[in-house]
Amino acid sequence: MKSIKILIAMLLLLSTVLAYADIKNVTTEQVKIAGSCAQCKEGIETAAFEKNISRAIWDKETKVATISYDTKKTSLDAILKKIALAGYDNKRYLAPDNAYAKLGECCRYERIGKNDLAVQKEMTGHDHNTASKESEEKVISADPDPLKPVLDAYYEVKDALVSSDGNAAAAKATNLVKALKAVKMDELGSDQHMVWMKVMKDLNFDAEHIEETKDLGHQRDHFSSLSENMYKLIKSAKPTQPIYYQHCPMAKEGKGANWLSQVSAIKNPYYGAQMLNCGKTTKTLK
- pLDDT level of residue 121 (50, 70, 90 thresholds): very low
Distance CA 85, CA 100 (A): 8
- pLDDT level of residue 27 (50, 70, 90 thresholds): very high
**Averaged confidence pLDDT in the chain:** 85
What pLDDT sits at residue 188? Answer: 80
What pLDDT sits at residue 247? Answer: 98
Higher pLDDT, 128 or 263: 263
What pLDDT sits at residue 56? Answer: 96
| pLDDT surpasses 50 at 26 | yes
Higher pLDDT, 94 or 271: 271
Min mean pLDDT across 11-15, 64-68, 96-100, 270-274 is at 11-15
Higher pLDDT, 52 or 237: 52
- pLDDT level of residue 1 (50, 70, 90 thresholds): low
- pLDDT level of residue 7 (50, 70, 90 thresholds): low
| pLDDT surpasses 70 at 187 | yes
Q: Are strands 243-248 and 257-261 parallel, antiparallel or unpaired?
A: antiparallel
- pLDDT level of residue 162 (50, 70, 90 thresholds): very high
Chain segment 207-253, per-residue pLDDT in tens: 999 999 999 999 999 999 999 999 999 998 878 789 999 999 999 99
**Closest by Cα among 239, 235, 286 to 258:** 235
Min mean pLDDT across 13-17, 28-32, 150-154, 192-196 is at 13-17
* DSSP per-residue letters across 133-180: HHHHHT-EEPPS-TTHHHHHHHHHHHHHHHTT-HHHHHHHHHHHHHHH
What pLDDT sits at residue 211? Answer: 98
Q: Three-class SS of residue 118?
A: helix
Q: HSE, CB side, 13 Å, CA atoms: give it for residue 111.
A: 19
b/e for 84-112, b at 16 or more Cβ within 10 A? bbbbbbbbbbbbbeebbeebeeebebeeb
What pLDDT sits at residue 240? Answer: 74
Residue 93, C-beta contacts closer than 8 angstroms, at least 6 positions apart: 80, 81, 83, 84, 139, 140, 141, 142
Distance CA 41, CA 48 (A): 11
What pLDDT sits at residue 22? Answer: 83
| pLDDT surpasses 80 at 135 | no
What pLDDT sits at residue 182? Answer: 93
C-alpha dihedral sign at 262, 268, 269, 274: negative
What pLDDT sits at residue 112? Answer: 66
- pLDDT level of residue 141 (50, 70, 90 thresholds): low
